[in-house]
């Protein structure tokens, strides 16, 4: 279990992480999401003991990183794919870390195989593509077979096939009961990978829940306008649809949740109720994410008004 408890980090006047609290449970993949500069990397760096918090604590199974005796056996972390010696081969890169972690040469070869780099074992890292570097970084984090994985933007630079491969690998690790925390600034990139989401904006927590709960906020709805509001309400009530009165450009409308426009149209037609507008709205999960993180300045077109 990863536990982030009232964590704060300031750099001069910049509050990079601001009283952040959340937990990451084992056995699932958790997406750590937020726009650029929202404080994800700083949080992960504090978790890994690379930056000291201004206030609060970050722990893994109750211990701060610095207190863990053999940290590479407990947590595998990939913060950036850039720190490779360009002259070393992929295999040699792993061999440098192997003694520190206490694993064999054979384990290095197995890991290159697991991340799809077996053919590139003897090639110099300087000639690796960004995606290949990401794979090598992942192999490095897995050397000690750690039960906790912390990966900062691991999908960066991967092609669609690589993203699918990463997704399956991370899901496999979670299914083994490991704790998997993956950061990203794009929800859609990890949407099919994660079970839980922790969303931050400007260093603060804005949402933490299973993905399904966030997805529930992205349900479709239909806006419907009739000159006979009472008759329309009777139709909506008869169908037991959930709806709320709203206003759009000064016109009174009803917003009906989780139905298709065709269903509303058909029900009104069958009841002989005149309609003047019928609009289907699909809210994408990414839109919910953008709204939560204040990345959209488009006001919601429909405001609630009194019934
Ligand atoms: N060492 C530092 N010194 C000064 N400011 C820093 C330092 N590290 C991070 N910051 C600032 O803290 C804020 C959060 O940065 P951080 O890298 O944690 O965000 P992020 O969510 O990881 O962003 P990205 O998605 O772009 O990687 C930013 O305003 C950044 O400029």
For the chain (length 307 residues), average pLDDT per consecutive 10?
96 94 97 94 95 96 94 88 79 89 90 91 88 89 94 87 90 96 90 94 95 84 91 95 80 86 96 93 83 68 39
Does the beta carbon of 34 sit less than 6 angstroms from any atom of ligand 1?
yes
Atom of ligand 1 nearest to the CA of 42: 18
Instruction: Give the pLDDT of residue 22.
Output: 97
Q: Which two tokens stand for residue 216?
A: 């529930």
In a mutational test of the pocket of ligand 1, which residue from 9, 13, 16 has the highest number of ligand atoms less than 8 Å from its CB? 16
Cα of 288 to ligand 1 centre, how many Å? 23
Which option is the CATH number for 219-282: 3.40.640.10, 3.30.70.870, 3.30.70.980, 3.40.390.10? 3.30.70.870
- Delimiting residues of CATH 3.40.50.300 domain(s) in the chain: 2-216
Instruction: Give the pLDDT of residue 248.
Output: 67
Instruction: Give the pLDDT of residue 250.
Output: 62
Does the beta carbon of 36 sit less than 6 angstroms from any atom of ligand 1?
yes
Cα of 176 to ligand 1 centre, how many Å? 32
In a mutational test of the pocket of ligand 1, which residue from 4, 13, 39 has the highest number of ligand atoms less than 8 Å from its CB? 39
Atom 28 of ligand 1, nearest CA residue: 37
In a mutational test of the pocket of ligand 1, which residue from 14, 15, 33 has the highest number of ligand atoms less than 8 Å from its CB? 14
Does the beta carbon of 184 sit less than 6 angstroms from any atom of ligand 1?
no
Instruction: Give the pLDDT of residue 297.
Output: 54
Cα of 78 to ligand 1 centre, how many Å? 17
What's the gap between Cα 184 and its chain centre?
A: 6
pTM to 2 decimal places:
0.80
- Delimiting residues of CATH 3.30.70.870 domain(s) in the chain: 219-282
Which option is the CATH number for 2-216: 3.90.1150.10, 2.40.50.100, 3.30.70.2740, 3.40.50.300? 3.40.50.300
């Amino acid at each position: 279990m990863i536990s982030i408890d009232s964590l704060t980090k300031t750099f001069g006047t910049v509050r990079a992480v601001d009283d952040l609290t959340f937990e990451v449970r084992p056995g699932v993949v958790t997406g750590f999401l937020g726009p650029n500069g929202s404080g994800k990397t700083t949080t992960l760096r504090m978790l890994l003991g690379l930056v000291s918090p201004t206030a609060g604590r970050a722990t893994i199974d109750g211990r701060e990183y610095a207190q863990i005796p053999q940290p590479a056996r407990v947590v595998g972390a990939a913060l950036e794919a850039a720190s490779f010696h360009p002259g070393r081969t992929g295999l040699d890169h792993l061999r440098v870390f192997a003694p520190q972690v206490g694993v064999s040469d054979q384990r290095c070869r197995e890991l290159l195989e697991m991340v799809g780099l077996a053919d590139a074992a003897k090639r110099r890292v300087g000639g690796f593509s960004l995606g290949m570097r990401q794979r090598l970084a992942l192999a490095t984090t897995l050397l000690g077979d750690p039960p906790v994985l912390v990966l900062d933007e691991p999908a960066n630079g991967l092609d669609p096939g690589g993203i699918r491969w990463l997704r399956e690998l991370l899901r496999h690790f979670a299914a083994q009961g490991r704790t998997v925390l993956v950061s990203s600034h794009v929800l859609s990139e990890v949407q099919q990978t994660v079970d839980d989401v922790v969303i931050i904006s400007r260093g603060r927590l804005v949402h933490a829940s299973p993905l399904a709960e966030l997805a529930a906020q992205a349900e479709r709805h239909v806006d419907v306008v009739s000159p006979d509001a009472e008759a329309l309400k009777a139709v909506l009530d008869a169908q037991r649809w959930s709806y709320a009165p709203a206003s759009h450009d000064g016109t009174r409308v009803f917003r009906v949740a989780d139905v298709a426009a065709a269903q509303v149209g058909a029900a009104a037609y069958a009841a002989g109720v005149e309609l003047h507008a019928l609009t289907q709205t699909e809210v994408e999960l990414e839109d919910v994410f953008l709204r939560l993180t204040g990345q959209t300045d488009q006001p919601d077109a429909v405001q609630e008004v009194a019934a």
